[in-house]
Structures are given as structure tokens and as C-alpha cells.
Amino acid sequence: MLGAARAAPGFLPDDEGRALHAAALGAPLGPWLEIGSYCGKSACYLGEAARRRGTVLFSVDHHRGSEENQPGEQYHDGALVDGSGRVDTLPGLRRTLAAAGLEDTVLPVVGPSRTVAAHWGTPLGLLFIDGGHSAAAAHGDYEAWLPHLAHQGLLLIHDVFPDPADGGRPPFEVFCRALTEGAATEVSAQGSLRVLRRL
């Protein structure tokens, strides 16, 4: 699993991946869900924990990339485009899950996160928010998915940068919001990863 995670293109340092895995091992059951599959790096860490715990991870992504992944932008990867020149990270995700032996545990859901949330019905034991970083995307994901997180479920948020010099605001705002709204309490932190528990 580690080899597959490290080989996958993506945006999650090793120490944060290990922290994700450790946190997930202590998450309540009920299926787990992540927003933002990209090529499956975080899905390896969460998926390995899900398999050990006997649950599954739904991994939601429209696979067309975030703003910063588009051609000409800072985090565009020319290897991840389809025949029409559009970003397509689904083949990369499938390769990673096959290499990690996690195809029965990590279940890709292809579509816009908030549309999936609007039709979702199963309480989640863990929710990892790592999708779009615009204010609309980050706050929208939080608002759409938090109601699906079970009491005591783990809320994981990536790319939380208290210092604006380190990165964009919206994931940090969502983290602050979860605390000030009394929706969750902080459990631990590793790099830009925050682990919270739903109240």
C-alpha cells in the first residue's frame, strides 16, 4: 500500500498520509468518504485502514481537476489529460487502487461532490474534505457533507494553513467554522491535516 501511495501523483506528504491512516483506525464504523480522490494517494492510506476495520471508503471526485490543476495553472500535470485535452484523473485512480490491492475497499464515485451529497443517505463514520479550494467549493463541501457525518464521526480537513503565506484561506476557514459552530472538536494535527471529532 505504501509503495502504491508513494508512486501515485498527488498532494499528500508521507507524514500526513500516516496521520490519516492512524486517525482512521480510530474512526467509528459506517462507511467512510473522502472528497477529492485525484490519483488515489490519500485513498491508499484511508483505504488500508478501512480494510483493516472491515468497512469501505467512498472516494468522490469529478476527475476534471480543481482550478489549480487546469492547463496553464501551477499544479497542472500534462500526463493527466484525456484525448480531448481535458484533465482526467480517473485512470490514475484506478491504477493506484489496483496496485494497492484496494479495489474492493475504495469505491470511486465520479461526479460533483455536492450533487453526490444531495442524494446521499448513509451516515458516515469518517469524512475527509480534500476537494476544491475555492471558498465556494470548500464551504459548499462542508455544508453539504457535515449533516451526513455520524455523531462522534471523524472530520478530517486537508490544506489547513493558519498562516496565509503558506496557502489559501478556505480550508482554514472551514476548520475554524467547525470549531466555532460547535460542530466538532479538534483531536490532532499533522502538517496541514486537521483531525476533528463530530459533536
CA distances from 100 to 9, 62, 80, 130, 134 (A): 14, 22, 20, 20, 31
Instruction: Give the β-pairing of 106-110 and 149-157.
Output: unpaired
E runs forming strands in the chain = 32-35, 57-61, 106-110, 124-129, 149-157, 184-190, 193-198
| CB-based contact 138:45 (threshold 8 Å) | no
CB of 123 or CB of 134, closer to Mg ion: 134
* Interacting span for ligand SAH (CB under 6 A) from 46-54, 57-65, 161-169, 181-189: 57-65
Interface pattern 157-176 for Mg ion (x via CB under 5 A): -xx-----------------
Per CB under 5 A, contacts with Mg ion among 29-68 are none
Choose the binding region for ligand SAH from 97-105, 127-135, 142-150, 187-195 (rule: CB under 6 A).
Answer: 127-135
Question: Hey, which residues between 137 and 156 contact ligand SAH (CB under 6 A)?
Answer: 137
Active site residue 62: no
Residue of 21, 133, 151, 158 with catalytic role? 133
Q: What does the alpha-carbon distance between residue 38 and residue 35 come to, in Å, rounded to a whole number?
A: 9
Residues that bind ligand SAH (CB under 6 A): 10-12, 36, 38, 41-42, 60-66, 89, 112-113, 130-132, 137
The residues annotated as belonging to the active site are 133
